[in-house]
Structures are given as structure tokens and as C-alpha cells.
Amino acid sequence: MEAVSVNKFRENLKDFAEKVIEKHEPLKVTRRHGEDFVVISFEDWQRQEETLHVLQSKSLMKQVAESIKTFDKNKGYSPSKEQMDEINSI
């Protein structure tokens, strides 16, 4: 993760914001006196929130564990050719 001083961040805010959004890489902003902070795109923040939601849900994690078991045994659901064509066309 790239790190910049708060002064450099302030001077080049637009450029740093564009880079964070386009490259989907967080940016650490350091301060001399105080807590550092991280800048991420809204889309990346939403993804992280969704991931945390899944990880904190016992029922969803149980579903994931069961899916892994069936996948490992090669007994999971197999979509039809038509369903795969529809999925791939998205």
C-alpha cells in the first residue's frame, strides 16, 4: 500500500482520488501528530462491508462450508448448458 503525507495528499487530492478509484488500491495517509488514515474507493468499501457481513453471519458461513464440502466431493450443483450460456452472457 502506498503511503503519502497528509500535506502531499491535500496538494494532490484529485490525482490521488483518481488513482485510488481506478487502480482499486487503498492509500495510506500519514500525519505527524495524530492517527494515520486510509482512503479507498466507495466500490471497494462496499465490497469489504459485504465480505464482513458474510464473515460475521453464522448461517452464511455454514452455507459456505457446506458448499465447499459438496464441491470437494464433486457433488455440487451443475448448471445446464443453457444456464451457463445465460450466465456467461452477463
Which is more confident, 64 or 26? Answer: 26
Q: What is the pTM of this model?
A: 0.65
Report the helix count and the strand count for the chain, using DSSP H and E.
5, 3
CA distance 15 to 61: 39
- Sign of the torsion formed by the C-alpha atoms of 65, 69, 71 and 76: negative
Cβ atoms within 10 A of the Cβ of 9, count? 20
User: Order of strands, edge to edge, in the sheet holding 2-5?
Assistant: 2-5, 27-30, 37-39
Q: Which domains, and CATH codes, for the chain?
A: 2-42 (3.40.1620.10)
Q: What's the whole-number average pLDDT of the chain?
A: 93
pLDDT band at 89 (very low <50, low <70, confident <90, very high): confident
Residues 40-80 have pLDDT tens digits of: 999 999 999 999 999 999 999 999 898 888 888 888 778 88
